[in-house]
Structure 1
Amino acid sequence: MIKVKMIKKNNKTTITASGHAEYSSCGSDIVCASFSTLLTHTINNCTNVSVSDNDGVLTAIFLDDESIENKTLLKAFENTVGQLVSQYGDYIAITF
């Protein structure tokens, strides 16, 4: 299961993600591919982002979550992960 944690505090949003969806075999897992694409898109298109990947746990810290661009992309991330959870809740979960 992919576990996502999203914390909003003091004009900063932290997203932590770990695990594997295991919806399907490696290379054809649509849940993993969808989430990976969504997270990569969000990180690559926001500004003032710090990213680390330690032992399979990816942490992205968005240092200015109130800029209009970051705010829009982070809200889209939150909404889309919510849709993934509603459709594939056995394979991905999010906590706030």
Structure 2
Amino acid sequence: MIKMKMTNKNDQTTIVASGHAGYSAHGYDIVCASFSTLLTHTINNCTNVAVSDENGVLTAVFNDVEAIPNKTLLDAFRNTVTQLAGQYSDYISITS
């Protein structure tokens, strides 16, 4: 199961994600691929992001989240990943 926590504090959003969906075999897991693509797209297109990936836990800290491009991308990420988790609740867990 993918476990994701998204928290907001002041002008900073932190996303912590770990695990594997387990929806299908490695390389064929559409849930894991969808989540990974959403997260990677958001990280790569926001500005002022610090990322660490240690022991299977990815942590992305987004600063300046009120900047319009960052806010738009983070809102889109939150909405889309929430929909994905709703459709595949056995494979993605979101906490805040």
Which bin holds the TM-score, normalised by the shorter protein?
Answer: over 0.9
Q: What are the residue-to-residue correspondences of 1:1-96 with 2, within 5 Å? A: 1-96=1-96
Q: Count residues with an aligned counterpart.
A: 96
TM-score, normalization by structure 2: 0.99
Amino acid corresponding to residue 6 of structure 1 in structure 2: M
Moved over 4 A (4+): none
Superposition deviation, residue 93 in structure 1: 1.0
2-side partners of 1:43 and 1:92: how far apart? 19
CA deviation profile, 1:21-66 (whole Å, cap 9, x unmatched): 0000000000000000000000000000000001000000001110
CA deviation profile, 1:66-90 (whole Å, cap 9, x unmatched): 0000000000000011011110000
Structural RMSD (CA): 0.4
| Identity across matched positions, percent | 73
Give the 3-state SS of the residue equivalent to 1:40 in structure 2. helix
Unaligned segments of structure 2, at least 5 residues? none
